[in-house]
Every structure is written in structure tokens, then in C-alpha cells.
Amino acid sequence: MSHLINISEAASLALHGLVLVAQQSPNTVNAKYLAEKLDASEAHLAKIFQRLSKSGLVRSFRGPTGGFVLNKPAEEISFLDIYEIVESKIILNDCPLDKTGCTFENCIFDDALINISNNIYKTFKNIKLSNFIE
Amino acid sequence: MSHLINISEAASLALHGLVLVAQQSPNTVNAKYLAEKLDASEAHLAKIFQRLSKSGLVRSFRGPTGGFVLNKPAEEISFLDIYEIVESKIILNDCPLDKTGCTFENCIFDDALINISNNIYKTFKNIKLSNFIE
DNA sequence: TACATAATGGTATTTAAGTACCAGAATTAG
DNA sequence: CTAATTCTGGTACTTAAATACCATTATGTA
């Protein structure tokens, strides 16, 4: 079973977790709460939020009452931002056979994949955290 | 570095390899030739073509002069067919957090992912082997 | 019949993602 | 100041997918 679009559980958890953080703003939300709410491993969630924190998307506070808060307005955080932090940098698909391996003059996939990738890219960019807060 | 669209090297090799087979039709083409032409491991290519063979997309012949030939017209083989054989069955994306884990009432990703997935699906279906033969 | 060729299929290795564990540092509350 | 809480960061384990290896079986040719 395979998804056509590449979204790891980690990226999905990051988005869902950040929505929860945004909803509680300006209060802090801790990893334990997020893990329970999303039925995920706390260790995994903590790791993901460490990366979000290092990248400046959230701020973190230690100690009791500690946790995470958004570091910028929810309107300014897109799923693309999150995706790039969690999944690493995006390649706007060219042929998955790297160029050295392919002896066809014109890439078989060319237009098709690039168009779709751009489409996905734009869609990810348009998904903002603020979309999910009432 | 990550591709937005999920296409393994195996699926890509299958497509490229089948194009080569189609181009040589009705002659057989063997795995060694394909591997060289595509600069891939022969073992890997052989495995991929085993699956294509079992699924009836190609016929295989052993022995000297053996190899693979298409088992149906190039117009009737789409990249979708190939993808489903090599990658396993497609999930038209719903949320990558499985339902049990997600506590949001409406899937955060819903429309966006499903639309894109359908788009990819159609695109894959429209890519036929015959597109690549002169 | 013997030999070389080519697919087959089982198994093993590699890689990446997800997950778990734990000691350490910071911070709050009593 | 002490104790409890929470993030940090390093490491290790687990699992699944991708890839590689190899002995076997089938087949055409001389």
C-alpha cells in the first residue's frame, strides 16, 4: 500500500501538533499532551518538536508550565514550512532515475512530474496553520 | 532531500525498461542489456522484471536468445499499471495519520490531498508506453 | 549430449524511518 | 534551597522497504 504523495508520519504529526499548539495560544503546550492527543509516541513527538524549535517555528520553555508556543503568527506558518523542516529539502521532481543513469534524450517523466510537483508545492504553501483555528 | 511524489527507483526502472522492451519489439530484451542501458544493478532489474512477468505485463523466455517481450500492446500499458505492480496498491491519500490517531473532526488534509492524488492518478494513467516509441 | 545463456526464487544485506531509553540541563513552585 | 517538571540531545533498538547476492532451473545452440 503506497501513498502517491510523500508525507511521512513525522510531517503529519508536526502539522497536527502545531495546530494544537496554535489553538492553545498563547499558552504553552507540552509534548506529553500532544502525544496523548495525537495517540503518538511521546519520544517521537518530542524529537519532531525539537526540530521545529531549532528551526524557529516554535519556542520552547523548560520546567513545569513549560512546553511549546508558536514563534510567529499562525497565518505565516504553512505546511510547506513544516514539511521542509521535517522531511528535509524538497526536490521538485525531475526524473527519479538520476541523470547519469538515464540514456533517454528527453526525460520520460518530464512535464508530467514537474507540473504535479509544482501543484503539490503550491498546495502545501497554501495550507496555513491559521486555516485550522476557529 | 525528498521528492514530493512517491516514485521509487524500482518503478522508474520498470517504466524505462519497458520502454526499451517496447522499442525492440518483437525481439526479446534481456535483463543484462536493460541494466547496462539504464546503468542499474542487473540483480535489481531482474527482480523488477520478475514481478512484471508474474503480473502478465511481459512474457519471459529463458536460455540464450531469451529475455522479455511485452505481453500486450504498448498502448494498453500505462505507468499506472506499472506503478501498481511495482509499488503495490495505491492509497488515494486520505490523511497519513491513520484515523485512530487523529482527534480532529475533519481531516486537516482532506480536500487538498485527495484532489492532488486524483490528479496524479490520472496523470499516471495517461502515461502509456506507446508515448515513448517512434 | 554438453555447454553457455538467461530467468527464477530464496535469502541476505543495506538503508531509512520510526520508536524507545536515559542522563543532563533549565525552570518553576513550595 | 529542594523537588518536580519539561525540554535537550545522544544513543540504541525495531521494522519495513529497497537493493544485492547466489544457487537453481530452463532452454537454445553446437
**Does the structure show a pLDDT above 60 at A19?**
yes
Task: Examine the pLDDT at A55 and tell me if it is beyond 60.
Answer: yes
Instruction: Indicate if the pLDDT at residue A74 is higher than 80.
Output: yes
Q: Is the pLDDT confidence value at B96 over 80?
A: no
Position with higher pLDDT, A93 vs A30: A30
Task: Note the pLDDT of residue A111.
Answer: 80
- In chain A, the N- to C-terminal Cα span, in Å, equals 35
HEC secondary structure over chain A? CEECECCCHHHHHHHHHHHHHHHHCCCCECHHHHHHHHCCCHHHHHHHHHHHHHCCCEEEECCCCCEEEECCCHHHCEHHHHHHHHHCCEECCCCCCCHHHCCCCCCCCHHHHHHHHHHHHHHHHHCEHHHHCC
Mean pLDDT of chain B: 87
**Position with higher pLDDT, A92 vs B5:** B5
Percent of chain A residues past pLDDT 90, beyond the cut: 51
Query: Under 8 Å CB-to-CB from A105, ≥6 apart: which residues?
Result: none
Residue A98 pLDDT:
63
Q: What is the pLDDT of residue A99?
A: 56
Is the pLDDT assigned to residue A57 strictly greater than 90?
A: yes
User: A31-38 and A9-24 are packed helices; what angle lies between their axes, rounded to 10 degrees?
Assistant: 120
> A59 has which bridge partners?
A69
pLDDT at B77: 95
Query: Quick check: B47 CB within 7 A of strand D?
Result: yes
Size of interface A-B (CB pairs under 8 A): 146
Q: Is the omega angle on the peptide bond into residue B26 within 30 degrees of 0, that is, cis?
A: yes
What pLDDT, on a 0 to 100 scale, did the predictor assign at position A97? 73
Per-residue pLDDT tens digits for A80-134: 999 999 987 777 766 777 655 677 777 888 788 888 888 889 999 999 999 988 7
**For residue A1, what pLDDT is reported?**
60
What is the distance between the alpha carbons of residues B116 and B119, in angstroms, rounded to a whole number?
Answer: 5
Which nucleotide is the nearest neighbour of B66, by CA and C1'? C6
Select from A93, A102, A94, A116 the least CA-distant residue to B16: A102
From B105's Cα to the closest Cα of chain A, the distance in A is: 11
pLDDT band with cut points at 50, 70 and 90 for residue A24:
very high
How far apart, in Å, are the Cα atoms of A23 and each of A28, A34, A99?
10, 12, 45
Q: What is the pLDDT of residues B9-56, one digit of tens each?
A: 888 899 999 999 999 989 999 999 999 888 888 888 999 999 999 999
- Whether A44 and chain B come into contact, CB under 8 Å, resolves to no
Report pLDDT for B99. Answer: 55
Q: Do A91 and B1 touch (CB under 8 A)?
A: yes
For residues A68 and A30, is the Cβ–Cβ distance under 8 A? yes
Choose, out of B5, B78, B133, the residue to mutate when testing the contact with A (most A CBs < 10 Å).
B5
Predicted confidence at residue A93, as pLDDT, reads 65
